[in-house]
Every structure is written in structure tokens, then in C-alpha cells.
Amino acid sequence: MEHNKTALKELLEIYKEEGINPKLNTTDFKADYKRLEENQTSILIQVLIFVGAFLTASFFLVFLGIGGLFDSESAMIFLGLLITAASLAIPYLAVQNTNTEPFAMALMMIGTILFSAGFMGNLFDFQLFFWIALFLALFISIVAASHLQKFAAIVCFNLCAYCLIWDFKIQIAFNFLILLNATIVTVAWLKETSVLSAYPQLGQWYAAIMNACSISMIGLLCGSVNLSDHYYNYGEEVIGSSYWWVSALLLIVLVLWALNETLDLVGNKAKKIPILIGTGIALLFLINAPGIIGGILILFLGVYAGYHLLIGQGILAVFFFTVLFYYNMNTTLLFKSILMISAGVLFIALGAAIKRVYDFELSKDEKETS
């Protein structure tokens, strides 16, 4: 992320020197980043806020249920709409003060659930509930003025889409939902300079949106292509392993693109083709383990963007999915051995690549300071 910010500043300087107008309001753009730095909170605090808001919303909804509010569909719709509107208005009225985020987050959860539940009719008919919640989450992700609200709305959108795909039993659709999030994350981090130049209004929301998409991708991989009837004895296999390779192939393409951009970054263009071919062959051995490939993609992007949180997500995802597939009873011991060997070779190569990138950045900084 720091690398791309530096590149963006350099690009703006070039535009200025050449007299090019990129149709970018630099004053508003700088104000967005300044506001981001002023209102930035640590990941631990954001997690605590999210958990606290979730617990508060849960207890309040239980209280409303005991009070008999759920007996009236019109009351739920009206109150849900009112609370949701209030949750979106509070961050704007408070000038995006982080102190208001817990309250706004709790209200958003309560309002979204009440409004969506008001259209259910039958208590056990959740399909309409998920449709309403999906579109409401999409709307909130666009208009919300809170980082956590945008993050939660995007995750909620993916969760509702996941539940609908599961309900309709369209197995292959999971792969394209995973691809949607993976593509957004890949394009956004590899082309951050171009994206922010074209859409400067995304400036202060960028990290929240990208983190939501990357975590949603990991969640979808956990809850779709990695599950089979060996985990759930419903009498019918809703999620089968026959489509794992679809997600894997799509993610391999994105990994190779990220690797290609990283090699261009460090100036290693002479050996680029052999490296890409070798990496592609190694990744094909993991074609039945798309979760590991997804983790590698996030790790590559984190290294390229210099964004440590994304690197952490990638490391945890690779470790988690490696363990998950090793204990997967639906895979053979031979496949597990091939998977572990391939993963080990990739990790060694990735470690060397990461060191090369950081050495390159370090030498570049030393030259600039000298």
C-alpha cells in the first residue's frame, strides 16, 4: 500500500510537470487521505468494536422479540428502515468520528435484520430474507460513511449470496463468487494508482473495502469448495468436490498476474517467463486445493502493495488451508503428500521472492536518501 501511495504521488508530480490534467481534485484527494490518517484505528480496536456491536445488536433483537415486535411485519419494516437510516446518518453528522462507530455499527445490524425479516412472511422462509439483506448490504456498502460499516456490509453481501447459492444448490456459482472477490482485490492492489486516480472518492475507504473482499474470499473458500458430505451428513451432498478445480484455475491466473507485476517491480524481467511457467506448473499440483492458492494470491498482493495486514491474511490462510486439506478425509494420502511437497517448494520460492522485493525497496530508499 505504501509502495502504491508513493507511486501515486510520483504520478501526480509527473502530471503536474507535463501540464496534464488527470481530472483529479487533488485537494479533495489529499483531504480524504488526511481524514483517513486522523480517524485510523488499530485492527484490534476495530475487531473489538465489531464484536461489541454484534453482541449489543443480538441482545437488543432478543429483547425486541420478547417484547412481541416480531409479531408485526409492518412494525419490523418501519422500525428497521428507521434504525438503518439513523445508523447511516450518524457517521456523517459526527464527521466520521471513530467514537461513533460502535453505536452506528450496532444500529446498522439491528436495522438490517429487522427490515429484512419484515418481508419474510413465513418464519422459516429465509430466501426472501437473504435477497432483501443482500440488496440492502450492497446499498449500505456504497453510501456508508464508516469504515466498519462498509466492511460489514460487503461481508454481509457475500454471506447472503453464499446462503442463496447454497439454497438453490448451484454448486459452480460459488466459484464465480470467489472469483468476483479475488478479482476485485487483485485489480485494486495491483492497479491502486490507476484506480485512485480515476476514482479519488475511494481514497479513505480503500483499505476497508479491500480487506472486506479478501476476507470474504477466504470465508467463501472455507465454506464452499472445501466442504463435502464427509463433513455434513445431510443425506445429500450440497457442496461437492467436483468443482474445486474451477476455483483453482481462476485463482492460478490471478496469482500469475500478481507474480508478473511483482517481477516487473523488482526489475527481474530477463527470467520472468521461466519463473512464471515454473510457478504455474507448481500451482497446478494444487488444483484440488484452491484455498491454498487463494492464500498465496493474498500473500503475493500483500508483498507487492507493502500492506502488512494483507500479508498476515495470506500467511494465516495458507497455513489454515494446508492443515484443512491435510485432514480432509475426501483426499488420498498420495494427494496430501503431493500437496505438502508443492506447498513447501512454493513457500521456499515465495520467501526468496519476498526477500528480493524488500532488498530492492531497501536499496531504492538508500539511493533516494543518499
42-62 pLDDT, tens per residue? 555 666 666 777 677 777 777
The single-letter DSSP state of residue 160 is H
Q: Of 115, 136, 168, which residue constitutes the final position of a domain?
A: 168
Cα 148 to Cα 271: distance, rounded to the nearest angstrom? 42
97 with 186, same domain: the answer is no
Higher-confidence residue of 118 and 135: namely 135
The grid cell for 120 is: 419474510
- Please tell me the predicted confidence (pLDDT) of residue 116: 83
pLDDT at 326 (0 to 100): 67
- What average pLDDT does range 241-256 have in this prediction? 83
Residues 109, 239: one domain?
no
How far is residue 108 CA from its own chain's centroid?
20
162 occurs within a structural domain: yes
- Choosing from 168, 196, 215, the residue where a domain stops is 168
Whether residue 265 is found in the same domain as residue 200:
yes
Lowest mean pLDDT among 71-85, 177-191, 256-270: 256-270
Please check whether residue 27 lies inside any domain of the structure.
no
Question: Which one, of 209, 204, 181, 197, lies nearest residue 290 by Cα?
Answer: 181
In a domain, 55, yes or no: yes
Of 63 and 218, more confident: 218
Given a cut of 50, whether residue 161 has pLDDT beyond it is: yes
Are residues 124 and 179 both part of a single domain? no
Other beta carbons within 10 Å of 124: 6
- Same domain assignment for residues 159 and 60: yes
Triad 283, 287, 289: Cα angle to 5°: 100
Q: Residue 350 is part of which domain span?
A: 170-370
pLDDT at 8 over 60: no
Give the total number of structural domains in the chain: 2
* Residue 56 maps to a domain: yes
Cα→Cα distances 138→112, 141, 142, 207, 365, Å: 11, 5, 7, 17, 41
Q: Which of 21-25, 99-103, 317-321 has the highest mean pLDDT?
A: 317-321
Share of the chain above pLDDT 90, in %: 12
Please state, as a whole number, how many other Cβ atoms lie within 10 Å of the Cβ of residue 270.
9
Same domain, 137 and 203: no
Domain shared by 127 and 184, yes or no? no
Say yes or no: 128 and 210 in one domain: no
What is the rounded average pLDDT for all residues in the chain?
75
Residue 101 lies inside a defined structural domain of this protein: yes
Residue 180 has pLDDT above 90, yes or no: yes
Q: Is residue 199 part of a domain?
A: yes
Together in a domain, 213 and 339: yes
For residue 131, pLDDT over 70 is answered with: yes
- Give the C-alpha separation, 44 to 34, whole Å: 22
Contacts of 271 (CB under 8 A, 6+ apart): none
CB 180 within 8 A of CB 158: no
Residue 32 lies in a domain: no
Identify the band that residue 239 occupies on the pLDDT scale cut at 50, 70 and 90.
very low
Percent helix, strand, coil in the chain, to 5, is 80, 0, 20
Query: What gap in Å lies between CA 277 and CA 192, rounded to an integer?
Result: 26
Please indicate, yes or no, whether residues 195 and 251 belong to a single structural domain of this protein: yes
Q: Is the same domain home to 129 and 189?
A: no
Of 80, 130, 129, 132, which Cα lies nearest the Cα of 109?
80
Q: Is the pLDDT reported for residue 187 higher than 90? A: yes
Residues 136 and 215 in one domain: no
Q: Which domain-ending residue is among 168, 201, 217?
A: 168
103 in any annotated domain: yes
